[in-house]
């Protein structure tokens, strides 16, 4: 590790200068020899570096999503040329060139941050050995050696011997407890960062080897941090824990506000966006307009979450436009309940409902009922119908074997003769 750190000694002076400047600020508040002054100086160094790396982080997000989009094509190339490694590599490079994708873009923030990491390691290791480095002179060196974070010196390591720790005016037990806790927190933060990326911000509709590799890295990276962490000074552990927490918060912000299409995070984001738009009846800012415009532009290529979002706007009486705006549609009027849930009242003309088809028994019973009403005394005007009831009882009843046309359900009027059967 010392050899690697010495390779980045050219950046040691700028890193030490930034630490000294922050130390002069925090030293005036907490005291120049305190662990707070030196520890916060390292944390501030991390924040400055990560702010400078934000453009690379944005490029990393775009590169990662582009790689996820290319996974189906890459899988086809691997299956087509599985017996020809050279042709497979050529086709992969051709695909990267056509789409303008660089697989190494996703590693840019780590590669750009590594010189600062090793330079800080070189500075802290020099402090532990009692050597001046960069702009840290002898007085600052003595102040840094006196600084302790929860009883552990900045330059102490988990693997240091009792004599080395005693030279820094500390106990071996306190150093190992502090370093062990920081190593565990560093590994857990790395695991959670990778886990939320895999569970929330990955397109679940695409199953590729790239996702399997990411899942493997989710468990490998924390182990790597734990193994190498025992050789890091406390100050480097502070640096790496701070950068892990920064990465986790930065990624949570991106997942919440700009999720990957087709992921669970996009479903949650579009649900929140639907509630806001249905409540206000319009998009509120440029970002929302850009999201709606991108969804409308996709057309039939929308995923399930985006189709659900567009259909939800239609049910709420709203229509998304090509420019990203949202207007009220003519076919429906949306109203809001007390809890803010949109309900839809249709203003389109109601369709005429077709009568239900009756069965044969229903038609027969209906015809018999109609025939009985026609022969009732209340509606009949003929003299025969006005005869006494006793006379009607005396009339002979028709034979049981014969049924009237109304009872049999036959149509009135002349019947069409049946055609003779062909012999």
Q: Is the full-model pTM beyond 0.75? A: no
pLDDT at 336 over 80: no
What local confidence, expressed as pLDDT, does residue 203 receive?
A: 63
Which of 129-138, 242-251, 381-390 has the lowest average pLDDT?
381-390
What local confidence, expressed as pLDDT, does residue 183 receive?
A: 93
Higher pLDDT, 307 or 116: 307
Q: Which of 98-112, 195-209, 241-255, 365-379 has the highest mean pLDDT?
A: 241-255
Q: What is the C-alpha separation between 14 and 116, in angstroms, rounded? A: 9
Which of 134-148, 152-166, 214-228, 401-415 has the lowest average pLDDT?
401-415
Average pLDDT, the chain: 76
pLDDT tens by residue, 287-302:
888 888 888 888 887 8
pLDDT at 179 over 60: yes
What local confidence, expressed as pLDDT, does residue 177 receive?
A: 94
Find all residues with CB under 8 Å of 43, minimum gap 6, and list them.
238, 242
pLDDT at 10 over 60: yes
Contact 270, 298 (CB under 8 A): no
Please classify residue 421 by burial: count the beta carbons closer than 10 Å to its beta carbon, then call 0-12 exposed, 13-18 middle and 19+ buried.
exposed
pLDDT (mean) for 372-382: 47
pLDDT at 310 over 80: yes
pLDDT at 21 over 50: yes
What local confidence, expressed as pLDDT, does residue 390 receive?
A: 42
What local confidence, expressed as pLDDT, does residue 104 receive?
A: 66
Higher pLDDT, 186 or 338: 186
């Amino acid at each position: 590790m010392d050899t690697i750190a010495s390779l980045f000694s050219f950046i040691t002076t700028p890193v030490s200068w930034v630490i000294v400047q922050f130390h002069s600020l925090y030293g005036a508040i907490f005291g120049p020899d305190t662990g707070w002054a030196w520890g916060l100086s390292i944390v501030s160094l991390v924040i400055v570096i990560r702010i400078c790396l934000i453009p690379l982080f944005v490029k990393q997000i775009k590169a990662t999503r582009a790689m996820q989009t290319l996974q189906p094509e890459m899988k086809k190339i691997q299956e087509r040329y599985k017996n020809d490694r050279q042709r497979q590599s050529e086709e992969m490079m051709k695909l990267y060139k056509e789409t303008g994708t660089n697989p190494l873009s996703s590693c840019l923030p780590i590669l750009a941050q590594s010189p600062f990491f090793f330079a800080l390691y070189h500075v802290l290791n020099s402090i532990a050995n009692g050597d001046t480095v960069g702009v840290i002179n002898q007085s600052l060196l003595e102040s840094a050696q006196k600084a302790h974070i929860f009883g552990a010196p900045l330059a102490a390591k988990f693997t240091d011997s009792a004599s080395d720790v005693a030279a820094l005016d500390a106990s071996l037990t306190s150093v190992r407890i502090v370093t062990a806790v920081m190593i565990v927190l560093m590994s857990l933060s790395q695991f959670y960062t990778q886990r939320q990326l895999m569970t929330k911000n990955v397109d679940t509709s695409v199953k590729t080897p790239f996702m399997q590799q990411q899942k493997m890295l989710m468990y490998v990276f924390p182990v790597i941090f734990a193994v190498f962490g025992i050789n890091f000074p406390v100050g480097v552990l502070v640096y790496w824990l701070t950068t892990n927490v920064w990465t986790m918060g930065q990624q949570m912000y991106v997942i919440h506000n700009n999720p990957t299409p087709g992921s669970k995070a996009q479903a949650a984001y579009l649900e929140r966006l639907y509630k806001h738009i249905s409540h206000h009846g319009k998009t509120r800012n440029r970002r929302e307009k850009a999201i709606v415009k991108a969804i409308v532009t996709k057309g039939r290529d929308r995923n399930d979450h985006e189709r659900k979002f567009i259909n939800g706007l239609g049910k709420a009486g709203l229509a998304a436009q090509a420019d990203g705006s949202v207007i009220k549609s003519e076919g429906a009027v949306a109203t809001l309940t007390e809890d803010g849930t949109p309900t839809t009242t249709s203003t389109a003309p109601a369709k005429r409902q077709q009568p239900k088809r009756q069965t044969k028994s229903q038609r027969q019973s209906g015809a018999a009922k109609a025939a009985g009403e026609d022969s009732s005394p209340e509606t009949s005007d003929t003299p025969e119908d006005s005869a006494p009831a006793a006379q009607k009882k005396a009339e002979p009843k028709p034979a049981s074997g014969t049924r009237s046309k109304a009872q049999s359900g036959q149509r009135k009027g002349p019947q069409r003769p049946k055609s003779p059967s062909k012999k």
